[in-house]
Structures are given as C-alpha cells and as structure tokens.
Amino acid sequence: MGFTDFFSDVISSFSLPEAQAEAPPADTVQETPQAEDPKAEHAESVEAEEEAPAEEAEEEEAEEEEEEEEEEEEEEEPEDIKPQLEEECANSAHCAPAKHHYDECVERVTQQQEDEDYKGPKEDCVEEFFHLAHCATQCAAPKLWRTLK
C-alpha cells in the first residue's frame, strides 16, 4: 500500500456514507378506510372469486405448456457416452499406472488430513488427477469417434 493510498483511505473514511440502492423503505402509515356499504364489500369479493379461477386456469395452461416443452427437449437430447467411456478407460489396464499413483496420493493426503500432528508440506493430488484424466481421455477418444461415426 502506497503513501497516497493511505491518505485516500483516510479521506474517504471522513466523507459521508454512500446511499445504498436497497435502502429500507420509509415508515409510512396508511389508514384503510372502513367500508360503509356491506353490499359493496360482497360485490368486490364475488368479483375477486370470479377472477381467481380464470387466473388459475391460465397458470395451469402455462405450466402444462412448459412441461410439454421440457419433455420435447429431453427427447431430443441424446445420452452423452463420453463420461462412461472415460470411466471405463480409467479403470482399464491401459491407465492402471496413473490410477495407482492417484489412489496412493489420495490415501496419503487423507492420512495427512486426519493426522493433527502432521508437520510436513501440504500435498494435493492435482497433478496425479490430471495425469489420470489425460490417460482416460486419450483412451476414450478413439472409442468415442467410432461410436459417433
């Protein structure tokens, strides 16, 4: 932090606070007038009841249309076989050395996390994971291209 940054921070701390976009609304007291005519109240409630079923019917129609669109989208989308192929390759003999190194690393890191007295360097298995992922991808690519052709 530079010398000028320090002074700009000090000056900004003495300025007025900024107005927030989500300021709480001012407390306003609204008085609801009492309806003097009970017939007018009944007419209003009947009108509201008539509008409610119409609104519900429109909402139900909109929901049905959305469900139909979702079903159509689901039908059009084919299943992605790439993750399955990569998993098979990761567990195959082709990627066994990378998988073995990754599993050993995971075991070491798990033991380090469980041991509260561990003073050594913190280790992660990112490099081993990427080696395994690369091997699985390289193994799965020809199989994937064969199925796509």
pLDDT tens for 42-54 read 555 555 555 556 5
pLDDT (0 to 100) of residue 42: 55
R_g of the chain, CA atoms, integer Å: 33
* In the chain, where the domains are located: 80-148
Q: Compute how many other C-beta atoms are within 10 angstroms of the C-beta atom of residue 39.
A: 8
Most confident of 6-15, 55-64, 68-77, 131-140: 131-140
Residue 149 pLDDT level (bands cut at 50, 70, 90): confident
Task: Please give, one letter per residue, the 3-state secondary structure of 43-63.
Answer: HHHHHHHHHHHHHHHHHHHHH
Has domain 80-148 been given CATH number 2.60.40.420? no
Cα 14-18-24 angle, rounded to 5 deg: 135
Q: Which pair of structure tokens corresponds to residue 33? A: 């007038």
pLDDT (0 to 100) of residue 74: 60
